[in-house]
Chains A and B, each alone.
Chain A
């Protein structure tokens, strides 16, 4: 792949784009050996979170909605196969920040990104990147559980089907694997044909996590995934996040300090500046952010002195 060849590809639909996507995959799998070995042995033998390879990286990233600057000069490197929490007051741009990584902000007219946003070294706002392929690799779980108006089975099969998986046995396997991974299989294995939106809120959210797993993502973005759930369901999702954090890069926006402390290894604190643009105040291992914050605003926020 040379630049001359790809220069004229107008957008993601061109064949060159899939090469870019493949490069994205390749860059990730390069680390596979080391990490799987670490996971395979025992959890403590993984390198500490800050030393793991970087999955998502931004440099001086700013996000604009028209003239309004929602995020300012964010520079951060999110380690792979780690749960990273994003905390901060309402309206400081946490969700916008999250959606920058799967380009869901593209759906908002006049939204614009400046600066560098990379996944495994691939600039994801490059016009050669296939947005659909990017979103496959960077899954997302929303604030309110949003199963599609389909059966439980078809909710999981939806992603693989759109990517051309037709074989019934393959799909059956994917459905069982993902529901098992999302700790939902035992509850729904006898009613796979029932509509997904008839499950309880917590089950729906686990269904949404399962369907995200079905397209084999590398990163999972979670936008306050427990804010619409009761405490018991919240606990189950949190356990799930921690488990999945060994295999996937998870970025979770949360308003719940305890949740951030419980599930994440890394924490990013965003705050709104005077011009209402969100900026990264502090980023580091969760234990340090919560016990020994370097910034006064971080400490004030965590201790609940403002919100």
Chain B
């Protein structure tokens, strides 16, 4: 009785209602299938790529591959210079990016007045995140290598990559800081803490996991970039490892780029092996950052 009253109100009979319900359920199921399929496209491609690279490359990886310098013969070729170069550049880039990016994010979220100047800065940072990386390479070449007279050295490469990934970290850092509930800030300020104390002891500890996630993403980008570093380093055949930031260098993506363009079949295996090493470097840096993040997360919850 009651059910039919409700149906009358809606202007449809119970039978119509059930038929349209079946239809809607079908549409819902169909949508889930499409979403699942889309997910698999990405996953399958990635899996195919990784499996292909692993099959090609794993037999070529041994200690000699890591510890020898590049060679004209594929069986003698090693990664030593590129691996050291990448570690040097990545380390310096992280060292520059993290404090500058975090400080900028803190300023923009916690201190900057809401005015045109701030809006202008924010707009530009967002835009900078979209600038093609080769443009940064040319900028680095002009400013660090030539104008500041550093030459084609590790430091110039690291500074260029810092500029490249800073906007990424700033955007991620701001989001992490914005996600800290305002009630924390108010609670801290109401207890007589100063603004800086509130940022230092409440906002930063809460935002740090998010900031570190941003750093992971930024560093992954920096390690994988070839274009800007080619503009800076311009070296592909390096038979020494940098001992300090003012020496010349090469990095893994450049070495890979160089090898992959050679015609002989064996070089494809060398390239695959180098790609695996690059992935390992990337994953271990990410793992380190995640460990660090978890440690801070636990500490901030104590």
Give A contacts to B, CB under 8 Å: 102, 104, 107, 109, 132-137, 139-140, 142, 144, 146-151, 154, 158-159, 162-163, 193, 195, 208, 211-212, 214-215
A212 to B192, alpha carbons, bound, how many Å?
10
For B115, the closest partner residue in chain A by CB is A109
Map CB proximity to A onto B185-197 as digits: 1 under 8 Å, 0 otherwise.
0111111111001
What does DSSP make chain B's interface, helix, strand, loop or mixed?
helix
Which residues in window 139-198 of B have CB below 8 A to A? Answer: 181, 183-184, 186-194, 197
* Residues A208 and B187 in contact in the complex (CB < 8 Å), given A149-B205, A150-B302, A162-B201: yes
CB distance from A217 to the nearest CB of B (A): 9
A158→B188 contact, CB < 8 A: yes
Residues of A within 8 A of B114 (CB): 109
* Interface pair A211/B191, CB less than 8 Å apart: yes
A43 to B239 alpha-carbon distance, docked (Å): 89
Contact of A148 among B113, B184, B192, B194 (CB under 8 A): B184
Shortest beta-carbon distance, B299 to chain A, in Å? 10
Q: How many residues of B are in contact with the other chain, CB < 8 A?
A: 22
Quick check: B300 and A149 within 8 Å, CB to CB?
yes
Q: How far is the CB of A266 from chain B (nearest CB, A)?
A: 23
Chain A residues within an 8 Å CB radius of B184: 146, 148-149
- Looking across the interface, which residue of chain B has its beta carbon closest to that of A143? B183
B192 is contacted by which of A136, A154, A208 (Cβ under 8 Å)?
A: A136
CB of B301 within 8 Å of the partner chain: yes
Q: How far is the CA of A107 from the CA of B183 in the complex (A)?
A: 12
Interface centre among A139, A142, A146 (most CB of B within 10 A): A146
Q: Mark B82-98, 1 if CB is under 8 A from A, else 0.
A: 00000000000000000
Q: Would B191 and A146 count as touching, CB distance under 8 A?
A: no
A142 pairs with B186, CB closer than 8 A: yes
Query: Are A147 and B194 closer than 8 Å at their CB atoms?
Result: no
In the bound assembly, the distance between CA atoms of A208 and B300 in angstroms comes to: 18
A104 touches which one: B190, B201, B206 (CB < 8 A)? B190
B202 contacts A by Cβ under 8 Å: yes
Once the chains bind, are A135 and B183 in contact (CB under 8 Å)? Answer: no
Q: Is the CB of B191 within 8 A of A215?
A: yes
Chain A hits for B181, CB < 8 A? 146
* In the complex with contacts A151-B302, A158-B201, A162-B201, A215-B187 CB distance below 8 A: no
Distance in Å: Cβ of B186 to nearest Cβ of chain A: 7
Chain A residues whose C-beta falls within 8 Å of the C-beta of B201 in the assembled complex: 158, 162
Inter-chain contact B301/A149, CB cutoff 8 Å = yes
Q: Does B206 contact A136, Cβ atoms closer than 8 Å?
A: no
Does B189 contact A135, Cβ atoms closer than 8 Å? yes
Q: How far is the CA of A23 from the CA of B175 in the complex (A)?
A: 42
Given A149-B301, A158-B201: A140 and B190 within 8 A (CB)?
Answer: yes
Q: Interface centre among B191, B206, B301, by most A CB within 10 Å?
A: B191
Partner of B197, one of A104, A109, A162: A162
Query: How long is the Cα–Cα vector from A136 to B183 in the complex, in angstroms?
Result: 17
B193's nearest neighbour on chain A, judged by CB, is A162
A176 to chain B, nearest CB (A): 18
Cα distance A139–B190 in the bound complex, in angstroms: 6
Residues in B whose Cβ lies below 8 Å from that of A214:
191
Can you report 6 A-B residue pairs in the complex whose CB atoms are below 8 A from each other?
Answer: A135-B191, A146-B181, A149-B300, A149-B301, A150-B301, A214-B191
Q: Give the residues in chain B near A159, CB-CB below 8 Å.
A: 191-193
- What residues of A have a CB within 8 angstroms of the CB of B194 in the complex? 132, 162
B155 to chain A, nearest CB (A): 38
In the complex formed, the residue of B with least CB distance to A217 is B192
**Chain B contacts of A142 at CB under 8 A?**
183, 186-187, 190
Point out the residues of chain B lying under 8 angstroms from A154, CB to CB.
302
Asked if A102 meets B206 with Cβ closer than 8 Å, knowing A109-B114, A142-B183, A149-B300, the reply is no
> What separation, in Å, do the CA atoms of A136 and B192 have in the docked complex?
4
Residues of A close to B192: CB separation below 8 A: 132-137, 159, 162-163, 215
Output the nearest chain B residue to A193 by Cβ-Cβ distance: B302
